Amino acid sequence: MTKPTPHLVHVARNQQAPASRAHTQFNNLIKKIDKHKQTLRAWMETESILNNKLTKDFLPQHAKVGDLKADLAHLLDRAHADPLFKKRDRDKLAHLITSLASELLTDFDRADLKPLYDKHNAVDFDTEEQ
């Protein structure tokens, strides 16, 4: 036995009749959704570009800054031992060394600078962190 094929009836909409209020609201919401989708797509593309730039350009430069600051801390440590500097100057150098070393220990995970920090600070780094 064969099934009868259903006949679809298309009702032609009057082109002159205005859309209902609900239909207009629906269309406006669909337009807003499309705008938001485009904005989201643009943000995602921008995020991808920025992530690439971050890994390619910024992170290596950030590491170089950390290395240069560590070099500066070691240079200041060598200068601290110079008898040319008076006690007040050595105190200033010690303050600069501890602030640089502290920043490098916390922001750059440079554990190699702990002895330098401990040498110039009354309290060692681990105790101060607690």
Residue-wise pLDDT tens digits, 20-76: 899 999 999 999 999 999 999 999 999 999 999 999 999 999 999 999 999 999 999
- 3-state class (DSSP) for residue 119: helix
pLDDT at 9 over 80: no
**110 within 8 A of 66, measured Cβ to Cβ:** yes
**118 within 8 A of 124, measured Cβ to Cβ:** yes
pTM of the model: 0.66
Query: For position 19, what pLDDT does the model report?
Result: 76
pLDDT at 1 over 60: no
**129 within 8 A of 90, measured Cβ to Cβ:** no
Give 130's pLDDT tier (boundaries 50, 70, 90).
confident
Q: Give the integer Cα–Cα distance in Å for 130 and 128.
A: 5
**94 within 8 A of 66, measured Cβ to Cβ:** no
Beta-carbon contacts of residue 33 (< 8 Å; ≥ 6 apart): none
